[in-house]
């Protein structure tokens, strides 16, 4: 009778152990499929722009927002079930930075600090160098 109990307990332990293991792997699989990584072109100039863009992009459902001031690319890691790329882009545009899909409002843009104001208009990467040259002219406004 004792040995039967021990065997029974051993089976229970194995069963419970494998069950929780199975749950764990299911969970990590779920997490993997539920995140999406996307890079979005966002206008901006400096470190202040970076802070502003990243703070605006870090809404619920976004696990990572990293903007590079050289490439002007915002790398977003987010859960598409919780938030849409468009919604994040709207938030970024709302603080004064143009994205691929949404333009910042003039009134918001006008309130940006001087160093952030020479925002280059969004243009495809380096096809027209004259557009880049225009953005380097001093701001008369």
Give the SS3 label for residue 8. helix
131: tokens are 């557009």
Distance CA 51, CA 137 (A): 25
List of residues contacting Cu ion (CB under 5 A): 45-46, 48-49, 116
Q: How far is the CB of 45 from Cu ion (least distance, A)?
A: 4
Residue nearest Cu ion, Cβ-based = 116
The DSSP symbol for 125 reads T
Nearer to Cu ion, 80 or 113 (CB): 113
Nearer to Cu ion, 78 or 98 (CB): 98
Distance CA 139, CA 16 (A): 69
Q: How far is the CB of 38 from Cu ion (least distance, A)?
A: 23
Backbone φ and ψ for 2, nearest 5 degrees, come out as -60, -45
Q: How far is the CB of 97 from Cu ion (least distance, A)?
A: 9
Nearer to Cu ion, 40 or 112 (CB): 112
């Amino acid at each position: 009778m004792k040995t039967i109990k021990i065997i029974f307990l051993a089976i229970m332990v194995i069963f419970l152990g494998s069950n929780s293991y199975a749950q764990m792997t299911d969970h990590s699989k779920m997490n993997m499929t539920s995140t999406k990584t996307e890079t979005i072109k966002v206008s901006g100039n400096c470190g202040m722009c970076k802070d502003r863009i990243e703070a605006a992009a870090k809404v619920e459902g976004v696990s990572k927002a990293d903007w590079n001031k050289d490439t002007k690319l915002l790398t977003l890691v987010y859960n598409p079930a919780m938030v849409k790329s468009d919604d994040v882009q709207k938030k970024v545009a709302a603080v004064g930075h143009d994205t691929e899909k949404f333009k910042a409002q003039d009134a918001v843009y006008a309130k940006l600090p001087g160093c952030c104001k020479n925002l280059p208009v969004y243009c495809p990467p380096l096809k027209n160098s004259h557009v880049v040259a225009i953005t380097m002219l001093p701001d008369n406004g």
